[in-house]
Structure 1
Amino acid sequence: MLKADSTVTANMNEDSFSSLPDSEKDAWLRERILEIVGPLGMITEEQDVAPYVQDARGRYRGETSLVVRPSSTQQVADVVKLCAQTGTPVIPQGGNTGLVGGGIPLCGKQNVLLSLQRMDRVLDIDPVGHTITVEAGCILANVQEAARTVGRLFPLSLASEGSCRIGGNLSTNAGGIAVLHYGNTRDLALGLEVVLPDGRVWNGLRGLRKDNSGYDLKQLFIGGEGTLGIITAATLKVFPLPVQIETAFLGVRDIDHVMQLYSQARSASGDRLTAFELIPRAGMEFGLKHVPGITDPFDRTYPFYVLMDISSSEAGNNLRTLSEQVLTAILEENLAEDVVLAESIAQAKNLWAIREGVVEGHKFEGAVVTHDVSVPIARIAEFVRTATAAAEAMHPGIRVIAFGHVGDGNIHFNFHQPVGEDPGTFIARAPEFNETVYDIAVGLGGSISAEHGIGYVKKSHLKKYRTDIEIELMRRIKRAIDEKNIMNPGKIFD
């Protein structure tokens, strides 16, 4: 604590604050912030701070003066106002499950890492209007469960749903497995509450389906990765809860047949196709080898597999008949070699475990260079063929794992080191691999980031693959809203 006769006062401005030694800056900030959030709202001990400054993959470790955990929007606003007054960077963080370093403080130690973890309340559920309003710190799985208690579905679903938080999902415009039917997080948001970089609060928590009164301001903050403000609450769309779900697993001979199968299934199901996942044999073998409980549903192997869900909120068993008809037509047209239609919820879970096994199993296969790209759906087959051939020509023995969400064009395109190769030698070629994949994806009309954002990792790529006018407009928006550049500086662009 500072002494009573200290020259540091509560009326600190940016110039006088910046002239202080770092130790006095830390002491002053801690005292003022403690007055705002109380003892439960601050973390200062190094061992307790450590999990907040380490990214999910262990690739980046930042540093911070302190971790602040407000319990209300007003506390967030007061902390941000204090930081604006002193020019102190603010790093917003949700569940810290991001994969591009977006929530890690990488701008020097003098910053405040603001965690939304304590703001985890469900504020309102409107089953008639089909909306749910939650604080930004709500864990995604808890939002799903809250909707389910009133017979509604919040369809955003991804591997980290047990730990990621809705504010982070919104800030990165998260996707997941149901985008082809329900859309990205951007499509699921009706209104936001946001603390702006000067500490003012914009309350846009409106559940309107139609509102054409000027700019749609919420879209600035969705996908903004905390660089324009801090999302503190959101009003989200929910849907009728599916009461019939049919899960099928298919063996397919090549990527072209996968795409024909997708088109056929979507048309023949009456647009009730809610998930369509691509799994390569090599990725499936990672799960079979390393993840307990995963089994191969077929007695022979296929180059590719498709996992799909057809669902309906209508009561009855008519969806089973429809699914059988869809699958029979697919087999008759030789678009798939074999198929399993789940006979129980347990069997459906086992089939989905194969998909998750690709993600879990790859961790045990040495060095990996990952890519999260999107291309137009009609060009997925071309992308997979072209990028695979390029990778194999660049690095003989490389193991290419192309999997992901066919229905929205999002392919996770990962390169694994050849068996027995030195991991460091392989990782050293990552920049070359990245540029090759991104060149091909963008050349086909795609994007270098489908789900995870830009963060810290992809800043240089964004500059290369977005046009000058796009970058200029982004910078203008940043300067206009965050004049002092205190909101998550160094992310998306410098």
Structure 2
Amino acid sequence: MPNHLSPLAAIVGAANLLTNAHDIAPFISDYRGRYHGAPLAVALPASTAEVAALVRYCAAQHIAIVPQGGNTSTCGAATPDGSGLQLVIAMRRMHAIRHVDAANHAITVEAGCTLAAVQQVAANVGRLFPLSLASEGSCQIGGNLSTNAGGLAVLRFGTMRELTLGLEVVLPDGSVLNQLSALRKDTSGLDVKQLFIGAEGQLGLITAATLKLFPQPGAHATALLAVASAEAAIATLNALQEAFGERLTTFEMMSEVCQRLLDKHHPGSVPFLAPWALLIELSDSGTPQALQDKLGEWLARMAFSDGVLAQSEAERSRLWQLREAMSETQKQDGPSIKHDIGVPTSAIPAFIADCDAALAAAFPGVRVVTFGHAGDGNLHYNVSYTRAGNADLFADEDAVNAIVYQQVYRHGGTLAAEHGIGQLKGHWLAQYKDPAALALMRGIKQLLDPQGIMNPGKWL
């Protein structure tokens, strides 16, 4: 086998081509620890020119490439295989803010910028970048784009697909697609940047993006509400939308199981226990007190059985901590079979009832942990145990998934709403995705990457 390390080191510098077991350890496992790999090396480029040179070399030598951002993937999308032949290209050194145009509400950043860094730069010029995730301190913009990330404000602002104006991408032959336009309207042909958003690095390697910014809201009004059923939750969502329109930024729901887990691991943090807890937030211009008063008046008219309306920024932060702690709290409680599913909001109550019942019939005593972004239909529907002691949890994974995905598609949904497909869900995607759509995607893959060097072993 040729020695590829010297030519690769010549591109990025010897210090930025990692081969030592200790140095590569953070790059070879996914966030959940389900997938582990053994790469040829980990390259840390500092510029688009270096990325392009790496890709050109790999294309010439038929070396597979695994792009990696903050390595917060829950599906193994950024994890190399165990062959020792794949090059991980990690983007953490490409973290420049290239341009901020506050007047045009746009920012151009490199793919290795963390989401939190972009949020802060936007705030520094009085603007908002609205994507918000629990992992925002470590996830990177390139990964957010590659999975079409959604998060907590999709209801108002949309996913990364809606938040992106332009991209810079290194294609599988090492050429550079420069589409970093900040235009809102451009009808000069196909919008080719959309090919790479949600492609999980299988069509090219995103190196930079121009993103939309928004006016920084001056006011927030936040409440945690108790409702008796999923049907009541969706009725509340519709009533809020009718009353407040686009000022409704967030609508999250957490089952009673979630609330009890939070109370177990964070005693005293949960203000009440209810069949469902709803975290809602309005945002607008103007003063916080005026918006809080409007929400308070609405809550009084609706006469909820229990609820908390935040009266200060500290109280707002405590309510948000409940929702943001949910994933880590569940991880503390033990392993789970995770589902990042989406259904139409109107179908949420029926999906939950039907899927809960189907799982209970197959696995008596099963525990389902349901929470998520109900405002856009995206639920984290996680099975924490199927049998006493949980020892056989992952032995039951295929059977659990078969039930969940059957119900998801029966209710007009999707098996991947924001976390992507990666290594975890490819065979399920092949079963449920429209065959014509899959054939079209594979044709695009073949056209752009005929050697199949970009992130092989994933769903394409």
TM-score (norm 2): 0.98
Deviation at 1:404, TM superposition (A): 0.3
Pairwise CA distance, 1:44: 1.0
Deviations 1:178-213 (A, max 9, x none): 000000011000000000000000110000000111
Q: CA deviation at 1:353?
A: 1.3
Cα–Cα, structure 1 residues 418 and 110, in superposed 2: closer, same or farther, change >3 Å?
A: closer
- 1:121-169 CA deviation, whole Å, 9 max, x = no partner? 1111111000011000000000000000000000000010010000000
Asked whether the 8 Å contact 2:340–2:416 carries over to 1, the reply is yes
Deviations 1:232-260 (A, max 9, x none): 00000010001100110101111110000
| Partner in structure 2 of residue 325 of structure 1 | 297
CA drift at 1:39:
2.3
Alignment check: 8 A CA contact 2:217 2:285 kept = yes
Map residues 60-459 of structure 1 onto 2, 5 A cutoff.
Answer: 60-106=35-81, 108-291=83-266, 295-298=269-272, 301-315=273-287, 317-331=289-303, 336-417=304-385, 421-459=388-426
The answer (yes or no) to whether the contact 2:221–2:288 under 8 Å persists in 1 is no
Three-state SS of the structure 1 residue aligned to 2:31 is coil
C-alpha distance in 1 between matches for 2:169 and 2:205:
5
Contact 2:56 2:173 in 1 (8 A): yes
- Structure 1 residue runs without a partner (length 5+): 1-20
State how far apart, in whole Å, the 1-side matches of 2:314 and 2:189 are.
49
Which of 362-371 and 159-168 deviates more?
362-371
Q: CA deviation at 1:220?
A: 0.2
Partner residue of 2:428 out of 452, 457, 461: 461
Cα distance between partner residues in 2 of 1:316 and 1:451: 31
Amino acid of the residue matched to residue 280 of structure 2?
Answer: M
State the alpha-carbon separation in 2 of the partners of residues 475 and 107 from structure 1: 24
Match of 1:47 in 2: 22
Query: 2 CA distance for matches of 1:36 and 1:297?
Result: 56
- Which residue identity is paired with 1:295? S
Work out whether residues 386 and 396 of structure 2, in 8 Å CA contact, stay in contact via their aligned partners in 1.
Answer: no
Shift of 1:325: 2.3
Equivalent-residue separation in structure 2 for 1:236 and 1:328 (angstroms): 39
Letter paired with 1:442: Y
Kept after mapping to 2: 8 A contact 1:157/1:178: yes
**Contact conserved, 2:131 with 2:153, CA < 8 A, in 1?**
yes
The one-letter amino acid paired with 2:435 is D
Which amino acid is 2:286 matched to?
E
- 8 Å contact from structure 2 (residues 220, 288) kept in 1: no
Structure-2 separation of matches of 1:330 and 1:166:
40
Do the aligned partners of 2:262 and 2:270 also contact (CA within 8 Å) in 1?
no
CA distance in 2, matches of 1:456, 1:151: 40
Give the alignment of 1:479-494 within 5 angstroms: 479-493=446-460
- The AA in structure 1 aligned to 2:453 is I
How far, CA to CA, are the matches of 1:444 and 1:325 in structure 2?
35
Aligned counterpart for 2:31 among listed residues 51, 56, 59:
56
Following TM superposition, by how much is the alpha carbon of 1:267 offset from its aligned partner in structure 2, in angstroms?
A: 1.2
Structure 2 residues not aligned, in runs of 5+: none
Displacement, 1:356? 2.3
Q: CA deviation at 1:316?
A: 6.3
CA distance in 2, matches of 1:353, 1:134: 28
Q: Distance in 1 between matches of 2:270 and 2:72?
A: 30
* TM-superposed deviation, 1:321: 2.3
| Aligned-partner SS, 2:98 | strand
Aligned partner of 1:3 in structure 2 is: none
Q: Which has the larger radius of gyration?
A: 1
Letter aligned with residue 247 of structure 2: R
Find 1:478's aligned residue among 431, 445, 448: 445
Aligned residues: 460
Q: Partner of 1:120: helix, strand, or coil?
A: coil
Displacement of 1:107: 6.3
TM superposition score normalised by structure 1 = 0.91
Runs of 4+ in 1 over 4 A off after TM superposition: none
Cα gap change, 1:316 to 1:139, in 2 (>3 Å): closer
Identity %: 44
Aligned to 1:16: none
